[in-house]
Structures are given as structure tokens and as C-alpha cells.
Amino acid sequence: MRESFLHFIWQFQKYDPLNLSTSEGKSVEVYSLGQYNRNSGPDFLNAKLLVDDITWYGHVEIHLRSSDWKRHRHHHDEAYNNVIMHIVWEHDLDVSRQNGEKIPVIELKNRVKSDLLDKCNQLIKSPEPIPCQDQLENIRQLEIISMMEQTGIFRLEKKSTLILDELEKNRGSWEETAYQLLAKNFGFKTNSEPFHKLSKILPHKILVKHRSSQRDIEALLFGIAGFLPKESDNEYISELIHEYQFLSKKYNLVDYGMLKVEWKFMRMRPANFPTIRLSQIASFFIHNSKFFDQFINFNTIDEVKEMFESKPSIYWQTHYDIDRFSSKSNHGIGSSSINNLIINTVAPLLAAYSQKTGLSVYMDKSIELLESIKPEKNNIIDSWNSLGLKAQNAFESQSLISLKNDFCLKKKCLSCKIGVSLINR
């Protein structure tokens, strides 16, 4: 049995309420079970209970066994001093708050129908990656839509948390944080880490100083990345080498350059080579040096897409690597790649800005942005398509990715509206 099962029992009042009492025989009436808390601290906040004609206001904590209270060291944690009721499956030990006051306990093991536990186990112990995949056709569309809205926002908030952590490391600089996130996503899956490393070595504030010079920007990016040779017969590459030698000394970057072997080229089309991506991000910086403000203040999706549509420099329009000519012209970032960058960079930044400022308009803007983009195509979305769930836009495809990764694969059926619906039947 999982503790989440007891959360489900309490949240949906799936126990026998007749003559509800504590382990000491005190009668209990539940006026308000409290708000389910998914963060640290007690499981249900601000509950209202009547215990032997006395009304109590406070929190509710839930464990499989009452002795888990001590095992989790709640008796030393002031966050649990306002717990007014301990809900357990089995009562095996009296526990108390920091001040020594005993906490009343309600034991549930004789108040829950066995078939309810069987239904939960049937889902949670399913070997399938999507535990309810054989029962989806029995779920009302409204319940599926409701869960997808929840997981879509959950995914945005999850990404926001990571961004806000980076914001703190960057001393509150949104521009630097946005630059690092954008650079990482320019590497897509294959080269995301090298791109992220490059952005940590080469700060955005240095690039901004050279925003009027394509040559300087490319010299810094390709130099730090480790792609520039010691010398070259090509006039443009030779200019980049000399410029990088000067700029790397000026900004004390000489000892921080990366190695070419850190970048991956294998089994990639030339259009996805890291050298091509570097030329594209260089062009992006030239045309959008202070892009964070543009990201959060756009009016239409077309404005955002236009930011990524600038062509790379003349040299990189006809080359795919240093000193390697390409017969195919590099016209810039493709539409699917632009959508990917918006989904993974612009939308999460808007959501993070919303969380930081407390202004919900930016979260709304993030969702509207995703809803205006075509859904992604990947193995997860394909698996949902085969089950009859088809995303209509990027918000829905992000929702389905989160539903599978954060709920289905982790067997969190009791935290899923779809799973709860099946169990309630």
C-alpha cells in the first residue's frame, strides 16, 4: 500500500464515516478536510474538525503507520506543530508535537472497503507504461480535458522552478537566465549540454557589447566552442581567429575554451550540426540582443517567430563546418525548430516570470502561446495517438508528455483525475 492511497481516501472521503472516532474514542465530525498540499509540510492544510464538541482548526497529516511520524522526524519540525489530526492506516504508536502534546489519531484500516484497495492496486501495479490504457474509452472527455489542463500547467510550473533556480544563481538577471536557457535549447537534445556549458563560459553581457558586429559574435562563440583552428587559409575564418585571440585575452577567456570533442556530430544531418546552430544563434543575437523583454512583451505569435527567422552570415550560408563548403544553402532555422525553441524557451520563461512577479497575465500568455503552435511529434505523442488521444496544439502535446512522464510512468494514478475517475466507478 502507498501513502497516496490514504491521501485519496481522505481527499474523497472514501471511508465509513459512521461513528468516526479517534483511537481514544473521541467522536469526530469532518467539517472541512483541508486543502491538499503537494509541497513540503502537512498533507492537508486548514482543516476544520469537531472533536468531542470542540471545534479544531489546523492541519492534517497522513501516514501508513502512526510511528512514521517519528520516523519522518515531524516531532522536531515546527511546521507540524499545527497538526490537529493524524490519519493512519494502522495506529501503532502515540505521537506528539514539539511541545509534547499528544496528537489525536484516526485509524482507517477497518473503515475502507477491500474492493477499493483492489481497484487501486489494479492500476498502480499494472505493467503497462500507461496503466489505464485499456480503460481510456470508458472515461468521459471532460475528465480527460480537465486532467490535460492540470498536467499542462504542472509542466510549465515544473520548468518554471528550474528557471527560477537559475535566476537566483544569476543574481536576478533575467537576460542572463534567458540566454542560458535559449542556448541550451539551441542544442536541442543532442548538444544541449555543450551549448549550456558555452553559455556559462561566455556571458550574455559580453555578447551584448558586441551586438553590432557579426564577426565579433561569431569569433566569441566559435572560439569558446573550440571550433576555430590555429590558422586558416580562408580569409573569413582567419579574421575570426585573430579577433578571438584579441577578445579572449580582453575578457580573460583564454583558459576557459571548450574542446571540439565535446560536441556531437554523429548520425546528424548537416542542418543540425552544432556549427550550423552556432551560426544561427549568432545571427539571433545580432538582431535580438535584449531578447528577454521581447519574449515577455510580444503581441502576436508571428512577432516571436520573426525573431528566430534571421539568416546566418554569408559565410555560414554556404558552409556547414569550418573550411567545409556546402552545396546546400543554410537559410536559417526551420519552422519546426522555431516551434521547439518557443515551446521550450519562450513559454517557460513567461510562466517563470508569472511565478516570480505574481502576475497571472504572463501564465495566461504562456498558455495562449502554446495553444497557437502545432503539437509536437515524438514517441510519447505517438503512443497517445494510438490510444485515441490526439493533441490539437503544443499545450496539449506538452500536457500529454507530462501526463505520461510525471503520472503514468510513476504510477501516480491516485493523483490523476483519470485514475480517480476509474477507481470511483
Provide the residue ranges of all domains of the chain, joining segments of one domain with +. 3-112, 170-333
- What would the mean pLDDT of 372-383 be, rounded to a whole number? 95
pLDDT confidence bin for 267, thresholds 50/70/90: confident
Q: Is the pLDDT of residue 321 over 90?
A: no
Q: What pLDDT, on the 0 to 100 scale, is given for residue 311?
A: 87
Cell, residue 38: 503537494
Phi, psi of 83 (to 5 degrees): -75, 125
The 10s digit of each residue's pLDDT in 154-201 is: 999 999 999 999 999 999 999 999 999 999 999 999 999 999 999 999
Q: What pLDDT, on the 0 to 100 scale, is given for residue 9?
A: 92
The 10s digit of each residue's pLDDT in 220-230 is: 999 999 999 99
Q: What pLDDT, on the 0 to 100 scale, is given for residue 406?
A: 95
Q: What pLDDT, on the 0 to 100 scale, is given for residue 198?
A: 97
pLDDT confidence bin for 283, thresholds 50/70/90: very high
Q: Which of 61, 2, 14 is nearest to 420 (CA)?
A: 14
Q: What pLDDT, on the 0 to 100 scale, is given for residue 394?
A: 97
Q: What pLDDT, on the 0 to 100 scale, is given for residue 125?
A: 87
Please give the C-alpha separations between residue 18 and each of 14, 27, 110, 392, 425, in angstroms, as whole numbers. 12, 10, 12, 47, 22
Residue 70: CA count within 13 A, CB half-sphere? 10
The 10s digit of each residue's pLDDT in 126-154 is: 889 999 998 888 888 888 999 999 999 99
Taking all residues of the chain, what is their mean pLDDT, rounded to a whole number?
A: 93
Q: Is the pLDDT of residue 249 over 80?
A: yes
- What would the mean pLDDT of 355-372 be, rounded to a whole number? 97
The 10s digit of each residue's pLDDT in 294-308 is: 999 999 999 999 999
Q: What pLDDT, on the 0 to 100 scale, is given for residue 340?
A: 96
Q: What pLDDT, on the 0 to 100 scale, is given for residue 424?
A: 81
Q: What is the pTM of this model?
A: 0.85
